[in-house]
């Protein structure tokens, strides 16, 4: 009877020094099904799957793969068993090209021959809409493109059991649809797929069965056909948080940021932003929505003073700031949450307190000395106000989880009393309550009169809190909507590059 199961996990328990990540969890995965693992951040979804993938060993419990009791010793062992895992935070080597990565995954390509790799991936490119520039280096790719490479890798390795950890967290709605098409096809061909997510809608749409984890314990396994969002949310968090609403308070004020026909290059030297013009007013959230890799990062970096524009003008609080350094802009009140901020805007080797002043340390300085008491007070208030889980102010930031690091960045930037906040996907990867809280905080600083330039890939988020929404595609703005006239379908099409 167990033959129909690809994977059977029984009584899995895993403790990390002080926390119990999994407690007596049962999980089974059938051939030809998509089984969603649903739960908030820290519910133990990833831990359970890392155990299956052989990355960590369980303290207790048994694993059966293809009906046979197995101890999965290592990821390479898992791969030999036909299990492949695509991690949420990509495990790619920045300096290698896409072709080199794919060649590494294939036993057929012994020497790096472009033609062979092209043959190898042609099928996937065509059937699964996973086309990626083979010659691009990983560091040049957007989060969305990296995801595609990861999925290609797993497919090339010939995995029959595919574990996807939050696969949609960096994809746009259209890319998600593409991904779902791929997953359906794979399922119909007998692949077994685990889909880890905390997004209810996606889980309901894609999966056959749903297992819900909460605080390391399994709550239930139910067929998707019998599930509905409200029950799932209740099972997942216990209580459903009420979403923040953008109540238009006072009308927005003067322009805090003006961008005039701006051109910015990407790292490869190509034009990433072509002729963008817009302005952000005080007390408004201006959303820029688009698929990853359409120039958002370059535009944000140019505005933050980290990337010199090729052409065009940026006015911040009425003053031309092209070529001003990041310090000058920060001093004038520009806060910046970059993409993947848990990596790009914190230093894991520094303490929590040090990270809490990372971009504003010069504000805590007197006669060249950093005022320790001020810093501690500040760090404490951030931790408290934003619910950051840390064992203290002076522990290294690397002891925090990715989500908490991200919250630390958000806390630091939002609390810096900015005139303008530039944020790139600030809620990507956060759980429901943390995302909701972040959005509330964005609305809060907006109400206090700050301008917010929010880059997002999440249409729901844009519709929920933005006052105006621009769609970015291949470096240009494709349309500008006020919130009242914003329309999901129109925006989706524009994001895909369809001219209306």
Per CB under 8 A, residues contacting another protein are 306, 325-327, 330, 336, 338, 344-347, 349-350, 354, 358-359, 361-362, 364-365, 368-370, 372
Place of tokens 């472009």: 114
What H or E segment, with its residue span, contains residue 9?
strand 5-16
Q: In terms of CB distance, is 56 or 204 closer to another protein?
A: 56
**Min. distance of Cβ 159 from another protein in angstroms?**
21
What is the β-pairing status of strands 334-337 and 255-265? Answer: unpaired
Cβ pair 201, 229 in contact under 8 A: yes
Place of tokens 């810096």: 416
E-only strand ranges, 154-216: 161-165, 192-197, 209-214
**Min. distance of Cβ 49 from another protein in angstroms?**
19
Distance CA 444, CA 482 (A): 20
Nearest partner of 358 among 339, 344, 340, judged by Cα: 344
Cβ pair 431, 389 in contact under 8 A: no
**Min. distance of Cβ 333 from another protein in angstroms?**
13
Q: In terms of CB distance, is 135 or 391 closer to another protein?
A: 391
Cβ pair 236, 36 in contact under 8 A: no
3-state secondary structure of 499: coil
Q: In terms of CB distance, is 333 or 497 closer to another protein?
A: 333
**Min. distance of Cβ 314 from another protein in angstroms?**
17
Q: b or e along 115-139 (b: 16 or more beta carbons within 10 Å of the residue's beta carbon)?
A: ebbeebbeebbeebebebebeebbe
Nearest partner of 479 among 461, 500, 453, 450, judged by Cα: 500
Q: In terms of CB distance, is 101 or 359 closer to another protein?
A: 359
* Burial of 98 (C-beta count, 10 Å sphere; 0-12/13-18/19+): buried
Q: In terms of CB distance, is 4 or 362 closer to another protein?
A: 362
**Min. distance of Cβ 328 from another protein in angstroms?**
9
Q: In terms of CB distance, is 91 or 126 closer to another protein?
A: 91
Q: In terms of CB distance, is 111 or 369 closer to another protein?
A: 369
Q: b or e along 15-26 (b: 16 or more beta carbons within 10 Å of the residue's beta carbon)?
A: eeeeebbbbebe
**Min. distance of Cβ 418 from another protein in angstroms?**
14
**Min. distance of Cβ 86 from another protein in angstroms?**
21
Structure tokens at 52: 């299956």
Place of tokens 């940021």: 257
**Min. distance of Cβ 82 from another protein in angstroms?**
17
Nearest partner of 412 among 373, 380, 369, judged by Cα: 380
Size of the chain in residues: 500
Q: In terms of CB distance, is 400 or 470 closer to another protein?
A: 400
| C-alpha to C-alpha distances, 457 to 13, 448, 486, nearest whole angstrom | 36, 25, 15
**Min. distance of Cβ 492 from another protein in angstroms?**
32
Distance CA 245, CA 487 (A): 17
Q: In terms of CB distance, is 350 or 493 closer to another protein?
A: 350
DSSP 58-124: -SEEEEEETTEEE---SHHHHHHTTEEEE-SS----TTSBHHHHHHHH-SS--S--HHHHHHHHHHH
Distance CA 74, CA 182 (A): 27
Nearest partner of 193 among 214, 152, 165, judged by Cα: 165
**Min. distance of Cβ 327 from another protein in angstroms?**
4
**Min. distance of Cβ 90 from another protein in angstroms?**
17
Distance CA 460, CA 465 (A): 9
Q: In terms of CB distance, is 359 or 407 closer to another protein?
A: 359
Q: In terms of CB distance, is 246 or 324 closer to another protein?
A: 324
Q: In terms of CB distance, is 13 or 399 closer to another protein?
A: 399
Q: In terms of CB distance, is 375 or 494 closer to another protein?
A: 375
């Amino acid at each position: 009877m167990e033959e129909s199961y690809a994977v059977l996990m029984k009584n899995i328990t895993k403790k990390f020094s002080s926390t119990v990540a999994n407690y007596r969890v049962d999980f089974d995965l059938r051939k030809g099904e998509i089984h969603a693992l649903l739960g908030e951040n820290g519910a133990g979804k990833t831990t359970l799957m890392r155990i299956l993938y052989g990355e960590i060993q369980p303290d207790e419990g048994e694993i059966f793969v293809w009906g046979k009791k197995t101890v999965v010793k290592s990821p390479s062992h898992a791969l030999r068993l036909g299990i492949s895992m695509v991690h949420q935070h990509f495990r790619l080597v920045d300096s290698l090209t896409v072709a080199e990565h794919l060649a590494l995954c294939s036993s057929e390509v012994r020497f790096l021959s472009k033609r062979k790799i092209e043959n190898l991936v042609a099928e996937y490119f065509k059937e699964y809409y996973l086309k990626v520039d083979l010659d691009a280096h990983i560091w040049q790719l957007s989060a969305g493109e990296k995801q595609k490479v990861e999925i290609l890798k797993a497919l090339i390795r010939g995995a029959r059991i595919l574990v996807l950890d939050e696969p949609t967290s960096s994809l746009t709605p259209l890319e998600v649809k593409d991904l779902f098409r791929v997953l359906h096809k794979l399922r119909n061909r007998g692949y077994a797929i685990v889909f880890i997510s905390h997004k209810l809608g996606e889980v309901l749409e894609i999966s056959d069965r749903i297992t819900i984890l909460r605080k390391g314990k399994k709550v239930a396994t139910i067929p998707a056909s019998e599930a509905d969002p409200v029950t799932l949310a209740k099972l997942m968090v216990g209580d459903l948080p009420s979403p923040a609403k953008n109540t238009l308070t006072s009308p927005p004020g003067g322009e805090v940021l003006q961008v005039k026909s701006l051109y910015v290059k990407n790292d490869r030297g190509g034009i990433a932003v072509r002729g963008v013009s817009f302005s952000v007013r005080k007390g408004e959230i201006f959303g820029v929505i688009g698929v990853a890799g359409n120039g958002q990062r370059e535009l944000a970096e140019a505005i933050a003073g980290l990337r010199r524009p090729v052409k065009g003008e940026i006015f911040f609080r009425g003053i031309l700031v092209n070529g001003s350094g990041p310090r000058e802009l920060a001093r004038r009140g520009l806060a910046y949450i970059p993409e993947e901020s848990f990596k790009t805007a914190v230093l894991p080797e520094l303490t929590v307190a040090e990270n809490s002043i990372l971009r504003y340390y010069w504000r805590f300085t007197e006669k060249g000395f950093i005022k320790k008491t001020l810093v501690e007070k500040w760090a404490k208030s951030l931790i408290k106000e934003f619910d950051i889980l840390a064992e203290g102010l002076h522990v290294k930031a690397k002891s925090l989880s990715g989500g908490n690091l991200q919250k630390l960045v958000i806390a630091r930037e939002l609390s810096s009393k900015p005139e303008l906040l530039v944020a790139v996907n600030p809620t990507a990867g956060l759980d429901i309550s943390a995302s909701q809280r972040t959005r509330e905080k964005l609305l809060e600083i907006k109400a206090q009169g700050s301008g917010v330039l929010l880059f997002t890939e999440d249409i729901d988020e844009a519709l929920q809190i933005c006052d105006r929404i621009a769609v970015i595609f291949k470096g240009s703005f494709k349309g500008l909507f006020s919130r009242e006239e914003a329309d999901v379908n129109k925006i989706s099409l524009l994001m895909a590059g369809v001219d209306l």
